[in-house]
Amino acid sequence: MREEQVQNAVKFLSHPKVKGSPVMYRRSFLERKGLTKEEIDEAFRRIPDPPQNVSNAQPAGTNQVVTDGQVQPLSNVQPQVPTQILQPSAAAPAGVISTLTRSRFHWSHALLAKSVVPRLKSWIRKVVFEEEEGSAKKTDSKPSLQQEAAAAAKTAAAAAADVARASQEMLLSKREEEKYFKELMNLIGMQVQEMKSMSNAIQKLEGNTHGRTHLTEQDHRVSAKSLRQPNANGNVDFDSYSARSSPPPATVEPSAAPHPKSYMEIMAMVQRGEKPPNIREINDLPPNPNQPLPNPHSAPRAKPWEVGQTQTSYSQVLQSHESTYGLNTNLQDNGFVNQLNGDSSVPWWQKKNVRITEIENEDELKRGSSGVLTNERPVQRSWVPPQPPPVAMPEAAAAIRQPKKTLSEKQVADDQLVADPSNAIDELQRITKISESGGVVDANGGSSGLSKRFSESGVVDTNSMSSGLYTSEIQEEQEAY
Amino acid sequence: MPVFKTPFNGYAVKFSPFYEHRLAVATAQNFGILGNGRVHVLDLSPAGPISEFAAFDTADAVYDLSWSESHDSLLVAAVADGSVKLYDLSLPPPSNPVRSLHEHTREAHSADYNPVRRDSFITGSWDDTIKLWTIDRPTSVRTFKEHAYCVYSATWNPRHADVFASASGDCTVRIWDVREPGSTMILPAHEFEILSCDWNKYDDCVIATASVDKSIKVWDVRSFRVPLAVLNGHSYAVRKVKFSPHRGSFIASCSYDMTVCLWDYMVEDALIGRYDHHTEFAVGVDMSVLVEGLLASTGWDELVYVWQHGTDPRAP
């Protein structure tokens, strides 16, 4: 016998909850825990508890019941009943069973209701019979025992009937609950249906307008499954409203990007089904779908990341390209320059970190372009800032400074301009634009000298022909200086 | 720095790969909700002002465009009615467009020309598909249909001729190889819609994604569980990202917070430039391939700005 086990069992049995449970439960629990019968008995002995006596006296009756293979609750009831019956007091069984009924309804009780009554009756008959046969246990007269047994049986039956009634009530209440639940589900289902139909109606309305919107809510992904339109969740700002087709990007809730006011107005119009007034009917189909595609005018240019050179060398290429403008006769033909339409000048966008305050000449140029064709020197050198710009990128600034230094050293390179046809063309174009905006150059003057000049310079293009007039004018003027 | 005012709201801007002074702008009337569209081809002049070389009207909004890499005068436009239009600048406007390819069933939202093979282009659409086209064929070569929601952007890999990436409203980026039947990789890059993606021109496995969640994430596609960098700083959805063609770690981005930002994702403090010149959503941004540091942006305020990084776009 293991003391530790016994002590554990004692602790278990001392627990108030355990004390309220039927003895057979306690026994079987301990058996399950691996205690031997001795240990269990010892534990029981140590607990000062009435049921202990009962359990001790039970063996004969309980064994019989247990070996019937009853459901646990059955054996629960029966041991107590017979022991009580065996004892003189007839009130006990009723008390026991009534406690049973008073306790919380348990499924076991329902089972009891079904199986207890007949079993009980048969068992009682058996016991009574046995009692009649074996006479050793009680000193009472048999008839009184029988009477008691009968009385006990009656009370037992009454109690069982109570149990049955109680369980029936329970079943009823369950059914009622079910009913309520079903009703609730129906109501919810109806609401869902209503909402669905509402959203469908709204979407149909939207579908009549041919527009699309920008969403600010993120949940159009959900609605994508239905019609790929966002849910109209009734926001005042209409941002969540959608038109026919799927919206483009949304912003994250809650910080939806504020849309422009006119955007809201247009959204509102579209929602109402109105078409904004400024839309034209445009036929944008190709007039000749079989239009042959052009031949490429120039070769594709290598990408900076494809070039085998490093990055710095690329920028060097760029700088040398800059330096060719209007300066050197030896054009570095790095493929950037010789394009009819291309720009080999050093435009403002190739300068890095140029601050506007330094480009005074450009301002002059702009003023000049509005009316008078002012002195051409600034025109040609207008993109050269008088002072070097403040340095944010030193190496770039240094690189930029170099070509401009050389430029400022040289005089106006107009003769080189002419000598270099492509540069001339660009210059011509630019000047053409200036003069078109109101220059005072007289196109008629010097035309006789022009053709000679043109044939000398070899400029053939008709475009530059007309603007060549201006060049010659400029040159004449400059020569006059 | 010059500004160009477009009559409609700007949607995209792209520099020409052939001419440094040329760029194209996609615009849409009424913010792209409902109305016509127009493609502008603009020329920068050395003197300053931007002039319009050509303009083409479309029946519906133009959401994106891409210059041909093979023909200096060809331009592809993605139109909101689902069509893809091809314009030839060597022809006068009445002869344009030269092609109208109508296969997408929803709005065509992006167009990108292959910079390596130079013979094909891809278009991404709100019909969840990406289509591959060549300019000589009237129908698409292939359709890539795997995304579960709108494809907002599709971009070619700058080094691998057959690889491209697509960003979608289903919160994933997919990498595709034209030679493969399906996507080769899926990046669940964000928790929200991904509006744009672009490849690093100097590291062919690095890709940047821009999302509604206001962040830009830079990924190495080989290990896409954790991003290389997360760039926070925009206060609203980031609409477009573009890797610099000149500096491997520079990224330009534009956002609904009306700013254009420049980032260096290799650096701790990644934000290296912020331009708030727009007064409405900044929707398109581009960095010139031919001129280092040249940026262009457009937005719903109907303005197109071109400026050098480090300068003030609004300076006259």
ipTM summary value: 0.84
Q: Which segments of chain B does DSSP mark as H helices, in order? A: none
Is the model's pLDDT at B98 over the cut of 50?
A: yes
Q: How far apart are CA B163 and CA A112, in angstroms?
A: 75
Q: How far apart are CA B268 and CA A448, in angstroms?
A: 67
Neighboring chain A residues of B108 at a CB cutoff of 8 Å: none
- Please tell me the predicted confidence (pLDDT) of residue A368: 39
% residues pLDDT > 90 (chain B): 91
Domain A3-46 CATH assignment equals 1.10.10.10: yes
Smallest Cα distance from B225 to chain A, Å: 23
- Please tell me the predicted confidence (pLDDT) of residue A450: 39
Element (H, E) at A176: helix A142-208
B-proximal residues of A, 366-425, CB under 8 Å = 366, 369, 382-383, 392-393
A250 → closest Cβ in B85, B212, B316: B212
* A347 at B interface, C-beta within 8 A: yes
The answer to the question of residue B145 being in a domain is yes
Angstrom distances, CA of residue B9 to CA of A49, A243, B12: 92, 19, 10
Is the model's pLDDT at B130 over the cut of 90?
A: yes
Is the model's pLDDT at A466 over the cut of 50?
A: no
* String of DSSP letters for B119-180: SEEEEEETTSEEEEEETT-SS-SEEEE--SS-EEEEEE-SS-TTEEEEEETTS-EEEEETTS
Neighboring chain B residues of A210 at a CB cutoff of 8 Å: 34
* A352 at B interface, C-beta within 8 A: yes
Is the model's pLDDT at A292 over the cut of 50?
A: yes
A339 → closest Cβ in B19, B71, B79: B19
Neighboring chain A residues of B33 at a CB cutoff of 8 Å: 211-214, 243, 263, 266-267, 270
Token match 């949607």: residue? B11
Pick from B67, B249, B256 the residue to mutate for testing the A interface (most A CBs within 10 Å).
Answer: B256
pLDDT tens, residue by residue, B163-220: 999 999 999 999 999 999 999 999 999 999 999 999 999 999 999 999 999 999 999 9
% residues pLDDT > 90 (chain A): 8
What are the counts of helices (DSSP H) followed by strands (DSSP E) for chain A?
Answer: 20, 0
pTM above 0.80, yes or no: no
Work out the average pLDDT over B52-61.
Answer: 94
* B52 at A interface, C-beta within 8 A: no
- Please tell me the predicted confidence (pLDDT) of residue B160: 93
Which of the four pLDDT bands, split at 50, 70 and 90, describes residue B267?
A: very high
Closest CA to B272 of B289, B255, B252: B252
Residue in B with minimal Cα distance to A361? B47
Residue in B with minimal Cα distance to A362? B47
A284 → closest Cβ in B97, B245, B289: B97
Is the model's pLDDT at A461 over the cut of 90?
A: no
Which of the four pLDDT bands, split at 50, 70 and 90, describes residue A188?
A: very high
Residue in B with minimal Cα distance to A352? B308
Helix (H, G, I), strand (E, B) or coil at A20: coil
* A284 at B interface, C-beta within 8 A: yes
The answer to the question of residue B315 being in a domain is no
The answer to the question of residue B243 being in a domain is yes
Is the model's pLDDT at A262 over the cut of 70?
A: yes
Helix (H, G, I), strand (E, B) or coil at A229: coil
Neighboring chain A residues of B91 at a CB cutoff of 8 Å: 291, 294
Pick from A310, A346, A349 the residue to mutate for testing the B interface (most B CBs within 10 Å).
Answer: A349
- Please tell me the predicted confidence (pLDDT) of residue B173: 96
pLDDT tens, residue by residue, A161-187: 999 999 999 999 999 999 999 999 999
B-proximal residues of A, 191-230, CB under 8 Å = 209-214, 218, 221, 224, 228
- Please tell me the predicted confidence (pLDDT) of residue A321: 43
Pick from B30, B113, B202, B253 the residue to mutate for testing the A interface (most A CBs within 10 Å).
Answer: B30
A305 → closest Cβ in B235, B237, B245: B245
What is the residue type of B278? Answer: H
A356 → closest Cβ in B17, B148, B315: B315
| Mean per-residue pLDDT of chain B | 94
- Please tell me the predicted confidence (pLDDT) of residue B218: 96
Q: How far apart are CA A255 and CA A234, in angstroms?
A: 17
Rounded to the nearest 10 degrees, the angle between the axes of helix A91-102 and helix A107-133 is: 170
Compute how many other C-beta atoms are within 10 angstroms of the C-beta atom of residue A19: 14
Using the beta-carbon criterion (under 8 Å), do A369 and B36 form an inter-chain contact?
A: no
Q: How far apart are CA A258 and CA B5, in angstroms?
A: 22
- Please tell me the predicted confidence (pLDDT) of residue B246: 94
A352 → closest Cβ in B214, B306, B310: B310
Neighboring chain B residues of A346 at a CB cutoff of 8 Å: 46
Residue in B with minimal Cα distance to A286? B97
- Please tell me the predicted confidence (pLDDT) of residue B41: 96
* A108 at B interface, C-beta within 8 A: no
Where in B188-231 does DSSP place strands (E)? Answer: 194-199, 206-211, 216-220, 229-231
Copy the structure tokens of residue B298.
């457009």
Angstrom distances, CA of residue A429 to CA of A93, A351, A367: 122, 21, 18
The answer to the question of residue B79 being in a domain is yes
Is the model's pLDDT at A76 over the cut of 80?
A: no
Is the model's pLDDT at A360 over the cut of 60?
A: no
* Domain ranges, residue B121: 3-308
pLDDT tens, residue by residue, A31-51: 988 899 888 899 888 887 554
Contacts of A411 (CB under 8 A, 6+ apart): none
Residue in B with minimal Cα distance to A220? B169
Which of the four pLDDT bands, split at 50, 70 and 90, describes residue B144?
A: very high
Using the beta-carbon criterion (under 8 Å), do A282 and B307 form an inter-chain contact?
A: no
For residues A416 and A234, which has the higher predicted lDDT (pLDDT)?
A416
The answer to the question of residue B313 being in a domain is no
Using the beta-carbon criterion (under 8 Å), do A214 and B33 form an inter-chain contact?
A: yes
Helix (H, G, I), strand (E, B) or coil at A223: helix
Smallest Cα distance from A458 to chain B, Å: 25
- Please tell me the predicted confidence (pLDDT) of residue A88: 44
Is the model's pLDDT at B231 over the cut of 70?
A: yes
Closest CA to B130 of B117, A143, B116, B114: B114
CB pairs under 8 A between A and B: 257
* A303 at B interface, C-beta within 8 A: yes
The answer to the question of residue B90 being in a domain is yes
Find the range with the poorest average confidence among A142-146, A294-298, A309-313, A325-329.
A325-329
- Please tell me the predicted confidence (pLDDT) of residue A107: 57
Using the beta-carbon criterion (under 8 Å), do A280 and B115 form an inter-chain contact?
A: no
- Please tell me the predicted confidence (pLDDT) of residue A291: 86
Which of the four pLDDT bands, split at 50, 70 and 90, describes residue A23?
A: confident
What is the residue type of A122? Answer: S
B95 → closest Cβ in A250, A287, A298: A287
Using the beta-carbon criterion (under 8 Å), do B115 and A303 form an inter-chain contact?
A: yes
- Please tell me the predicted confidence (pLDDT) of residue B7: 95
Which of the four pLDDT bands, split at 50, 70 and 90, describes residue A104?
A: low
- Please tell me the predicted confidence (pLDDT) of residue B17: 95
Using the beta-carbon criterion (under 8 Å), do B59 and A350 form an inter-chain contact?
A: no
- Please tell me the predicted confidence (pLDDT) of residue A336: 38
The answer to the question of residue B239 being in a domain is yes
Which of the four pLDDT bands, split at 50, 70 and 90, describes residue A300?
A: confident
Is the model's pLDDT at A316 over the cut of 50?
A: no
For residues A296 and B263, which has the higher predicted lDDT (pLDDT)?
B263
Using the beta-carbon criterion (under 8 Å), do B96 and A286 form an inter-chain contact?
A: yes
Using the beta-carbon criterion (under 8 Å), do B107 and A280 form an inter-chain contact?
A: no
Compute how many other C-beta atoms are within 10 angstroms of the C-beta atom of residue B314: 15
B-proximal residues of A, 323-342, CB under 8 Å = 336, 339, 341-342
Work out the average pLDDT over A140-162.
Answer: 84
B59 → closest Cβ in A250, A282, A350: A282
Work out the average pLDDT over A425-452.
Answer: 44
Domain CATH for B148: 2.130.10.10
- Please tell me the predicted confidence (pLDDT) of residue A118: 66
* B44 at A interface, C-beta within 8 A: yes
Is the model's pLDDT at B43 over the cut of 90?
A: yes
Using the beta-carbon criterion (under 8 Å), do A211 and B308 form an inter-chain contact?
A: no
Smallest Cα distance from B224 to chain A, Å: 23
The answer to the question of residue B314 being in a domain is no
Most confident range, picked from A34-43, A55-64, B76-85: B76-85
Contacts of A205 (CB under 8 A, 6+ apart): A271, A273
Work out the average pLDDT over B45-65.
Answer: 92
Q: How far apart are CA A394 and CA B260, in angstroms?
A: 24
